[in-house]
């Protein structure tokens, strides 16, 4: 079992939104707190919209590497069902192909496409699933050509769960399509932090965690794992997730895994007054403590 | 996928000043404006991602055809903003909301209330033109001084 830790820029985003650190200062912070010198870059920080500026993409890569950091993965918002419905299948395929090329230009291994696509009214699971199959089958050859591994991040309920991601990956059977299990799926909602999500207010409120067996079943297909953290207690533990159980499973895994730390406690609903870097470091320490 | 109910960091999202301006340099004030910064958790989005924007000044609703969202010197009438796909509001980027008003706004302190309805169709390049996903609403209020 070999593991690497990468820091998701999501963990640091409060600095950008409040203007308390520049991008370079955030990179310096990541260098200080992450001994593995790896980051996950979300699209907010990538010059790919509305049209990709390839020169700026390459400059960004150089800039990040100048800090001694490696871009391990990228993350794009992908409500594929919604986008196909309001635009077109062809447009979405073209966007995804472009994203793959951007990821390759940044030198990253992985592109994450979250399964944040609640089914449309009247749409069956099978219809949504068929659409996803078709989309991924069409973009995988581009991923292979550019040596970018696609991860499907499932962390919500129903169609958006890791179960769906795992089924897609198994059905397609390509090394270039993988599951990115998100700790969120195994969080037990509490009164302090209920199972509601601002970006999917229409889906059923989550009331319980997904069975841990789904995490175990995902591991052979999961080079990348999203390690979401919300709060840490005085012992540096994260009580919202079954960390000990999950890490015991990872230690038994036969493949290499990279954990992307997604510290989310900085959002207005949780602990916006805490320093995201200090808390993110607690997440890194926690994983290293369990994984040895 | 962030947990919780807040889609924005509200603190510091709008300025505390209303500025009168003479936009056509004819010697007469014709608009006033204030600044707004993009502090959405999912920040970088086309302007059309904002499905509706409304503004009240001292309790009076401002007609949409008098309001403009101004970004990088581009003026977009609020009424047309939901159609804009190729002009993007970037992370933490400053924009201004202009209101057309002959003579500008009177000196003093004014109560400014802004409501923004944002789409939650989380596919960054698509505008939810068919309203297939619910919206999230941001309400910001501030006492602004005229300068």
Asked whether the beta carbons of residue A269 and residue B44 sit closer than 8 angstroms, the reply is no
* CA angle (A32, A33, A37) in 5-degree steps: 80
State the greatest distance between any 2 C-alpha atoms of chain A, in Å, as a whole number.
51
Per-domain residue ranges of chain B: 17-146
Helices vs. strands in chain B: H and E counts, helices first: 0, 11
Best residue in B6, B123, B138 for a mutation probing chain A (most A CBs within 10 Å):
B123
How would you write the pLDDT of chain A (292 residues) with one tens digit per residue?
Answer: 799 999 999 999 999 999 999 999 999 999 999 999 999 999 999 999 999 999 999 999 999 999 999 999 999 999 999 999 999 999 999 999 999 999 999 999 999 999 988 899 999 999 999 999 999 999 999 999 999 999 999 877 788 899 999 999 999 999 999 999 999 999 988 888 877 777 777 666 777 889 999 999 999 999 999 999 999 999 999 999 999 999 999 999 999 999 999 999 999 999 999 999 999 999 999 999 999 8
- CB contact residues (below 8 A), chain A span 225-264, against chain B: 230, 264
CA A213 to CA A190: how far, in whole Å? Answer: 21
For domain A3-291, give the CATH superfamily.
Divalent-metal-dependent TIM barrel enzymes (3.20.20.150)
B14 to chain A, closest Cα gap in Å = 12
Structure tokens at A243: 């960390």
How far CA B12 is from CA of A110, A217, B32, B54, in Å, comes to 35, 45, 20, 19
How would you write the pLDDT of chain B (147 residues) with one tens digit per residue?
Answer: 677 778 899 999 999 999 999 999 999 999 999 999 999 999 999 999 999 999 999 999 999 999 999 999 999 999 999 999 999 999 999 999 999 999 999 999 999 999 999 998 989 999 999 999 999 999 999 999 998
Residues of A in contact with B132 (CB under 8 A): 82, 85-86, 120
Of A83, A197, A202, the CB nearest to B1: A197
Asked whether the beta carbons of residue A18 and residue B9 sit closer than 8 angstroms, the reply is yes
Of B6, B86, B123, the CB nearest to A82: B123
Which residues are within 8 A (CB) of A88 and not within 5 positions of it... i.e. 6 or more apart?
none
DSSP character string of B83-97 = G--S-EE-TT-EEEE
pLDDT value, residue A142: 98
B86 to chain A, closest Cα gap in Å = 6
The radius of gyration of chain A's CA atoms, rounded to the nearest angstrom, is 18
Asked whether the beta carbons of residue B121 and residue A17 sit closer than 8 angstroms, the reply is no
**pTM for the structure as a whole:** 0.95
Asked whether the beta carbons of residue B88 and residue A13 sit closer than 8 angstroms, the reply is no
Does B46 touch chain A if contact means CB atoms closer than 8 Å?
A: yes
Distance of CA B4 to the CA centre of its chain: 24
Asked whether the beta carbons of residue A199 and residue B132 sit closer than 8 angstroms, the reply is no
- Quick one: chain B helix, strand, coil %, rounded to 5? 10, 50, 45
Per-domain residue ranges of chain A: 3-291
State the greatest distance between any 2 C-alpha atoms of chain B, in Å, as a whole number.
51
């Amino acid at each position: 079992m070999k593991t690497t830790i990468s820091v998701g820029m999501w963990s640091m985003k409060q600095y950008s939104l409040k203007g308390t650190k520049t991008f370079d200062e955030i990179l310096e912070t990541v260098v200080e707190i992450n001994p593995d010198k790896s980051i996950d870059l979300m699209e907010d920080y990538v010059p790919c919209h509305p049209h990709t500026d390839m020169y700026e993409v390459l400059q960004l890569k150089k800039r990040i590497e100048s800090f001694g950091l490696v871009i391990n993965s990228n993350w794009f918002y992908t409500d594929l069902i919604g986008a196909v419905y309001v635009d077109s299948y062809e447009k979405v395929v073209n966007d995804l192909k472009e994203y793959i090329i951007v990821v390759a230009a940044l030198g990253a291994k992985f592109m994450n496409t979250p399964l944040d696509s609640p089914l449309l009214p009247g749409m069956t699971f099978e219809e949504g699933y068929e659409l996803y199959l078709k989309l991924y089958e069409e973009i995988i050859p581009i991923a292979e050509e550019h040596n970018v591994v696609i991860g499907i991040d499932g962390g919500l309920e129903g169609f958006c769960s890791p179960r769906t991601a795992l089924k897609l990956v198994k059905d397609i059977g390509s090394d270039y399509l993988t599951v990115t299990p998100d700790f969120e799926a195994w969080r037990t909602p509490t009164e302090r932090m209920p199972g509601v999500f601002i970006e999917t207010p229409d889906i059923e409120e989550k009331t319980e965690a997904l069975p841990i067996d789904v995490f175990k079943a995902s591991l052979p297909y999961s080079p990348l794992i999203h390690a979401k953290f919300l709060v840490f207690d005085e012992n540096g533990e994260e009580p919202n997730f079954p960390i000990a159980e999950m890490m015991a499973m990872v230690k038994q895994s036969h493949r290499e895994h990279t954990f992307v730390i997604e510290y989310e406690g900085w959002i207005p609903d949780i602990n916006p007054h805490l320093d995201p870097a200090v808390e993110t470091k607690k997440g890194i320490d926690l994983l290293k403590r369990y994984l040895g | 996928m962030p947990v919780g109910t807040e889609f924005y960091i509200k603190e510091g999202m709008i300025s505390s000043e209303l500025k009168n301006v003479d936009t056509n340099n004819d010697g007469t004030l014709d608009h006033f404006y204030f600044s707004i910064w993009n502090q959405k958790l999912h920040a970088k989005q086309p302007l059309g991602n904002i499905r509706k924007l409304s503004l009240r000044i001292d309790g009076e609703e401002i007609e949409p055809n008098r309001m403009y969202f101004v970004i990088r010197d581009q003026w977009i009438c609020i009424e047309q903003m939901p159609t804009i796909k190729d002009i993007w509001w970037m992370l933490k980027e400053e924009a201004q909301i202009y209101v057309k008003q002959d003579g500008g706004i009177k000196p003093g302190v004014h109560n400014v209330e802004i409501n923004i309805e944002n789409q939650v169709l989380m596919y960054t390049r698509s505008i939810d033109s068919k309203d297939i996903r619910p919206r999230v609403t941001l309400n910001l209020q501030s006492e602004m001084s005229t300068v």
